[in-house]
Each structure stands twice: as structure tokens, then as C-alpha cells.
Amino acid sequence: MKSIHVSTTVNGDPAEFICTPDETLLDALRDRLGLTGAKEGCGTGDCGACSVTLNGRLVCSCLVLGAEAEGAEITTIEGMATGEALHPLQQHFIDGAALQCGVCTPGILVAAKSLLERNPDPSDSEIRYWLAGNLCRCTGYDKIISAVKAAAAEMRSN
């Protein structure tokens, strides 16, 4: 299969890669660009560990082709902090012990950020339904919900 040349923007920086026509965006990010923050937990869009945004839309990057990134704006977990300054969500996940093994954490943070951009003051129930596509097997979700709420409150007050 002849590879495709893709020009895209990742976390604000221009990026280019080649990929095969059937290669997922997740594989292109991980294997071509070395951005291994997004994880493959299932490869079928069921676990959310590979969550990124594509032109502002939250997607499972295992269900998007690398070729679809052409001309698009992609953000990943690697672009969430600003230099050394963590995003409030990242800080509250650490402070609130909202991670154990941490493998679902990048996807959950990307998804939660996407939620807060749409709804700066979500209820518990809204957070739980928004994150229903992101599986976590360690925490029982409790501290994740609390950390998202705390981050949202801090972001509203700034």
C-alpha cells in the first residue's frame, strides 16, 4: 500500500508525517510523531484511552484515519500544559488522587477539557455522562468526578 503524505497541526505546531491509507490517527500520532500520550486500550472506540480533539471535536483517535488529519488541528494530552504550568484539570487530578495506574488519564483529561469548554459548570451527572466513553478500571471514577468539578470551579473563578 502506497503511503500518504499528511500535513497537519498538532498542539499548535505544524507537523508532517506519512502513513498508510488504513493507518489510524492513533498509530500515526504514536508511531510516526512519537506522541505516545494517547493510548490504545481497545482499538474499537469503546474505552476512550486514545481521546484527542480534531478541529475542536472530541474523537477516539483509533477510529480516525491518519489521512483525515490533513489540514486539521489536533490537540493531544501533550499539548494540555503550558510550559511548566499544568492545566487546572491536570493539577486537580494529581491533588485529588484521581488516577491510579494512569493509563486512562490522558484520554480522560482530554475529554474533560472538552466538556469544560462546552459547559464550564457541569453537574455530577453531566460529568458522569460525558465521561461514560472513557473507561477507568482502577478508581471507580469517584475521585475523577471530584477532580473535574474542582478544576471547573477553579477555572470559573479565574
Partner 1 sequence: MALDTPKRTFKVVGTRPARPDGMDKVTGRAMYGADITAPGMLIGRILRSPHAHARIKSIDTSAAEALAGVRAVLTSADLSVPEDEFIRDVQDNCMARGKVLYDGHAVAAVAATDAATAKAALKLIKVTYEALPHVTDVDAAMKPGAPIVQDGRTLENVPAGMSANVTSHSEFGHGDLASGFAKADKIIERSFKTAATHQGYIEPHACLASVAGDGKADLWCCTQGQFFVRTLCAEIMGMEASQLRVTASEIGGGFGGKTTVFIEPVALALSRKSGRPVKIVMTRDEVFKATGPTVSSSMDIKIGMTKDGRITAGEAHLRYSGGAFPCGTVDMGGQAAFAAYDLDAVRTFGWNIMTNRPKEAAYRAPGAPQAIYAVESVVDELCQELGLDPLKVRLKNAAKKGTKSSYGPTFDDIGLVATLEAATSHPHYTAPLGPNQGRGLSCGFWFNFGGNTCVSLNINTDGTVGVTEGNPDIGGSRASISQMAAEELGVPYEKVRTIVADTSSLGYNDVTDGSRVTFSVGLATIKAARAAIQNMCARAAKIWGIDEDAVEWKDGAACPAGPNAGKFPPMTLAEIAAVSAETGGPIAGHHEVNADGAGVSFGVHLVDVEVDPETGATKVLRYTVFQDAGKAVHPDYVEGQMQGGAVQGIGWALNEEYIYGEDGRLQNAGFLDYRVPVASDLPPIETVILEIPNPGHPYGVRGVGETPIVPPLAAIANAVSRAVGVRMTELPMSPPRLLKALMSKG
Residues found near partner 1 in the complex (CB under 8 A)? 1, 20, 30, 35-44, 46-47, 49, 76-78, 80-81, 86, 90, 93-97, 99-106, 109, 124-125, 127-129, 131-145
CA distance 30 to 26: 6
| Complex with partner 1: residue 3 or 71, whichever CB lies closer | 3
Closest CB to partner 1 among 71 and 142?
142
8 Å CB contact between 99 and 142:
no
Q: Which grid cell is 18?
A: 506519512
In angstroms, give the least distance from the CB of 19 to partner 1: 11
Give the residues across from 24 on adjacent strands: 65
Least distance from C-beta 14 to partner 1, angstroms? 20
According to DSSP, the residues that pair with 4 across neighbouring strands are 19
Question: Of 71 and 92, which CB lies nearer to partner 1 in the complex structure?
Answer: 92
Distance CA(73)–CA(12), nearest Å, equals 7
